Amino acid sequence: MLESKEVTKVFGRKTAVDHISLKLDPGHIYAMLGPNGSGKTTWMKMAAGLIKPTSGEIWYNGHPLEINSRREIAYMSTEPYFYNWMRVSDVGKYYQDFFSDFSMDRYKELLDRMELTGDLKTRSLSSGMMAKLKIAVTMARDARVIMLDEPLNGIDLLARDQIMTSIVETVSSDRVLLISSHLVEELETVADYAVFIRQGHLADFRELEELRMTEGISVADKYRQIYGAGGEYHE
């Protein structure tokens, strides 16, 4: 469904993404893992059609990604993206204007689940509430590809559970879900594939139950193998 063909992105002298090739099929949840700064966000933005690769191509349903296919791809970025005068209900209306696949009913259902109400002002939301709002507004779209960039950053256990439930609920046989995280353990049970990114490269691509069955190791163990015992700061 979504294919990255030798995709490379260079910013000045820094190669953020270096010849990444991978194929994402519908019906699955992919965990995109790697330390901060490894190139996950840059790759996702290219896959969402928000920035252009320096070389290589993103293909969607057998064609190079074009403006039209962007409509079927939802990307939740890490940056805050609501005007601070907005109430939670305004955020829904704003999205409805922008995206034809946005469902107000689904949005309300998700807000309910996340224990958010329409009258809340976005500027008064805690970081956990803001994280939940971003998920709700992204998941209320009926997109074929949903990419969530670090959805679990800075949230508490209960918010995490609510977000996980929404993620599992959104899986369907005609949809790709990709979630990036540097918190490996969080995605251990819900993802079925892991994409390991290291310094802009695709370091490994594994089916998780297969990994547990054949090697008897967890995703976290694999992560340590790839990035070294020092983890995040290992070069």
Each as own residue / partner, the long-range contacts of residues 159-166 (CB below 8 Å, 24 or more positions apart, any chain) are: 159/114, 159/128, 159/129, 159/131, 159/132, 160/186, 162/113, 162/114, 162/115, 162/132, 163/114, 163/131, 163/132, 163/135, 164/190, 165/113, 166/110, 166/113, 166/114, 166/135, 166/136, 166/139
Is 21 among the residues that bind other proteins (CB under 8 A)? no
Is 163 among the residues that bind other proteins (CB under 8 A)? no
Which range in 10-18, 126-134, 163-171, 226-234 contacts other proteins by CB under 8 A?
A: 163-171
Least Å from the CB of residue 80 to other proteins:
27
Instruction: Figure out which of the listed residues 112, 115, 161, 232 binds other proteins, where binding follows CB under 8 A.
Output: 161
Judge whether 152 and 188 are in contact, CB under 8 Å: no
Give CA–CA dist 205/197, Å, rounded.
Answer: 9
Please identify, using beta-carbon distances, which residue of 57 and 142 lies nearer to other proteins: 142
Instruction: Figure out which of the listed residues 61, 169, 232, 234 binds other proteins, where binding follows CB under 8 A.
Output: 169
Is 204 among the residues that bind other proteins (CB under 8 A)? no
Instruction: Figure out which of the listed residues 87, 103, 221, 224 binds other proteins, where binding follows CB under 8 A.
Output: 221
What does the block give as tokens for 73? 């791809």
Which range in 52-60, 70-78, 87-95, 204-212 contacts other proteins by CB under 8 A?
A: 204-212
Contact footprint for other proteins (CB under 8 A): 27-29, 161, 164-165, 168-169, 171, 185, 188-192, 208-209, 212-213, 216-221
